[in-house]
Amino acid sequence: MTDTGSRKSRKNGRSPGMRILVAALKWGATFFTWAVIIFTLLAGWYYLDLPDVDEALEATRRPTVTLVSADGQVLAARGDLYGIPINLRDLPVVLPNAVMATEDRRFRDHIGIDPIGVLRATVANVRAGRIVQGGSTITQQVAKNLFLTPEQSLKRKFQELMLAFWLEHRFSKDQILTIYLNRVYLGAGTYGVDAAARRYFAKPAAQLSTYEAAMLAGLLKAPSRYNPAANADAAHKRTRQVLVNMVDAGYLTQAQAKAADKNRQRRIAAGTRRIGRHFADWVLDQVPSFVSPGDRDVTVITTLDAELQRSAERRLERLIAAKGVKRGADQAALVVLGADGAVIAMVGGRDYTKSQFNRVTQARRQPGSAFKPFVYTAGLEVGLTPDTVMEDAPVDIGGWKPKNFDGGYAGPLTLSQALANSVNTIAVKVARKAGAEKVVETARRFGITSELKADLSLALGTGEVTLMELTIAYVPFANGGFAVWPYGIREIRDGSGGTLYKREGSGLGRAAHPGRIAAMNAMLARVITEGTGKRAKLGRPAAGKTGTSQDFRDAWFIGYTSDRVAGVWFGNDAAKPTKGLTGGGLPALLWRDVMTESHRGLAVRALPAETTFQPGVRPAGAPPPAEKKGFFESLFEAFSGND
């Protein structure tokens, strides 16, 4: 046999298993080579589309606008809440340990990805039949959160891996962990552990206890689900699991974990019920009109009295739950103003969580007899007096026959008596005497901005208005005749405390002569002392007017002292009739209770009378002289953003 034949024989003599192994190695090497080539090409292609990492590392966020009450209580905050950037060495060691024990136990050892963690998560997910674990490392989470979009795609995953390797190459483990702890989202609008610590525990991150640190680490899995302010039980169970993780990872002993759980803080700072949320929405919509925050955090000092607001919300809810629903009224609203238009309390509805619709500034309803003060003021301006006598008798105006509430007639009455007892026929006669156009013009001067139809039915409050504009239109009676704008912002400051805006005070100017105001105050005081508003008695000089719209759809009481003006409305959002509810009932009772609370510590003062005025001297509580602006321009500014 030749040598050639001998070699061929030896080759052909390989066992089948050997031939399969050789083929597998050959094809494996070919596949691996092509896989490397494809991976390299993909990596190079995706690398070209990577974001600017230096730019992404810079803190970019929406500015935070924080609203505080007149006495410094935080009412609301909008925007991304970031705490003070903190170095890892300044944090209690239990915080990063809790995070690593829960999110990435091999963080100190891997190179950006954790194959063991990926394998463990894959097995757990296959067994569960759903995603129950993730295999991403802290480094990958930093890459994903800082540089990439939430898009689920092969491209994004490739880029996440490349960025993770890049981060591990460029930064130390401590630096990566510091970036993560300062930028991670922890629920309730907070980014970073310091912001979350201040939101949930009212303390900086440097002062966190072991239990608090474990709770923050637990939030990383599902910030909304484990939010301690929204779901305390779920947050507590999750925190216990984190403590178990820390024991398993060797960061805590069993005894230390039990002690941390035993000594946990029971009260969560963010769990306290927020007040004035309708007010906060109203004010926040106006902030851009005064300043442009840009990338600065700003603090808005408001006019709200936090204690009065809290009391008003509680009283409104209790009254409507106890009596309002029985009388067919599912909703109510309330606003309290200072004599210069400052909003001291605002309740836009019985439950903000169920309805963010603000019934103080957005709902337009018929005011009924609560509109009559402007009718009578117009009458006084054309020569009538409180002692003018008119006949309470049937009226027929082109087929329209307005009737009184009780259906009867009282005969001759003075205007003062007629207003106190809300006599409809005489109100229509006063409007006819003054002229419908005159009534509309008077209402405009006092602050009514809604469209009003100039006909005599206006005397009975058929035009639709908001509770805010009706209440602000009563302010001139309280301050001696000066029409004002409603406002909720006193000052706006930047993050360093610098003043960006400060209210100097201005108004719409004089709405009526002091003599007319004094006369109206005397007439409207009788509404409370002997008329339809007896349930609103305060035990100090006060005046006001009840209002009930057609078919008992709306019940109002608007009233005032020399220091405060308040308006109350009861009814239903769908304008469904109530069960005979009138302004002299529940609205007057709520008005009395809230106004009594609002006057604690205030001296008793008489209502403005003509004798209290001196030429050139502004009454106490009245706003400074009006700015040099056109009337309609002023009205537009006053109510922009209300609806």
Q: Which residues are catalytic?
A: 103, 369
Of 136, 133, 145, residue with least CA distance to 104: 136
Separation between Cα atoms, residue 417 and residue 404, nearest integer Å: 14
User: What is the length of the chain?
Assistant: 643
Separation between Cα atoms, residue 542 and residue 524, nearest integer Å: 8
* Angle value at C-alpha 549, between 545 and 553, nearest 5 degrees: 125
Q: Which residues pair with 300 in a beta bridge?
A: 67, 492
Q: Which residues pair with 492 in a beta bridge?
A: 300, 501
Separation between Cα atoms, residue 351 and residue 316, nearest integer Å: 10
Strand ranges of the sheet holding 543-548, from the earlier edge strand across to the other edge: 343-347, 331-338, 564-571, 554-560, 543-548
Token pair of 512 as six digits:
């009526």
Sign of CA dihedral 263, 266, 271, 272: negative
Separation between Cα atoms, residue 481 and residue 501, nearest integer Å: 28
Using DSSP's 3-state secondary structure scheme, residue 427 falls into helix
What's the 3-state SS for 158-218?
HHHHHHHHHHHHHCCHHHHHHHHHHHCECCCCEECHHHHHHHHHCCCHHHCCHHHHHHHHH
Q: Where are the alpha helices (DSSP H) in 509-606?
A: 514-529, 586-598
Token pair of 529 as six digits:
């002392």
